[in-house]
Structure formats: structure tokens, C-alpha cells
Amino acid sequence: MGEFRVEGGWSAFQSNGARADFEIDQSPPGGQKITGTGSHSDGAVQGAGRGRVQGNQFHFKMKWNDGTVGVYNGNFGLDGFLTGVTFDERNPSSQATWRSNTEFVK
């Protein structure tokens, strides 16, 4: 049995009004290792990241080209959507909750 499949394009809507758009690759399909690219601020800020999916947990770290490092930690709910907390690794007090716009399956 594999992990939740998070590959493809999807967005994280944040409680601070921001939206992060991701394009994720998962290796192997349904596996634990994830890499990807993304953007926020209407595409003005872009970056690349890596992380993992394990059980009902999602961990992803994006290095944005504005100098910030976004950490996205989340859990898959019974409805298949991801919810979690994001923060800037260089300024951990800058936090927001987030929810995916996509329902994920195993």
C-alpha cells in the first residue's frame, strides 16, 4: 500500500490570504519522496523544494527566490484534503495555517 498521491499541480490557501501554487513530483508514484517547484504572490516569487509524504503526514520545504524558506507541514484529513501550518524557516514566528484545494487519494 502506497502513500497519498500528491503529484501534479495544486494550491495551498493560507490563512494570511496568500496562496502557494505547487507542481509536485513523487518518487516512485505513491512513494514517500517528493520534489517540486512553486510560486506565490501571483507568480512573482518562485522556488523549488523537497520533502516527504508518510502515512497521513506531509512535510515540504520550499526555497523561494525572495530569500525565504517556506516550511509546509500538514496532515491528510478523512476527506483527503491536506491541512497544516506553514512558516518561514528564517522567521518561525511568521506562521499561517493552510488547506489544499485538492483531495488526495492513496
Which domain range does residue 57 map to? 8-103
**Strand, coil or helix: 100:** strand
Question: Does some domain include residue 1?
Answer: no
Question: Does some domain include residue 2?
Answer: no
**What is the spatial distance between Cα 30 and Cα 14, in angstroms, rounded to a whole number?**
25
Instruction: Please name every residue paired with 64 in a beta bridge, in sequence order, or none if there are none.
Output: 47
Q: The domain that contains 40 carries what CATH number? A: 2.40.128.120
pLDDT of residue 30: 87
pLDDT of residue 1: 55
pLDDT of residue 47: 97
pTM assigned to the model: 0.94
Question: Does some domain include residue 3?
Answer: no
Could you tell me the three cell numbers for 23? Answer: 507542481
pLDDT of residue 42: 84
The total domain count for the chain is 1
Q: What is the residue-level pLDDT of the chain in tens, covering all 106 positions?
A: 579 999 999 999 999 999 999 999 999 988 999 999 999 988 899 999 999 999 999 999 999 999 999 999 999 999 999 999 999 999 999 899 999 999 999 9
Question: Does some domain include residue 50?
Answer: yes
Question: Does some domain include residue 72?
Answer: yes
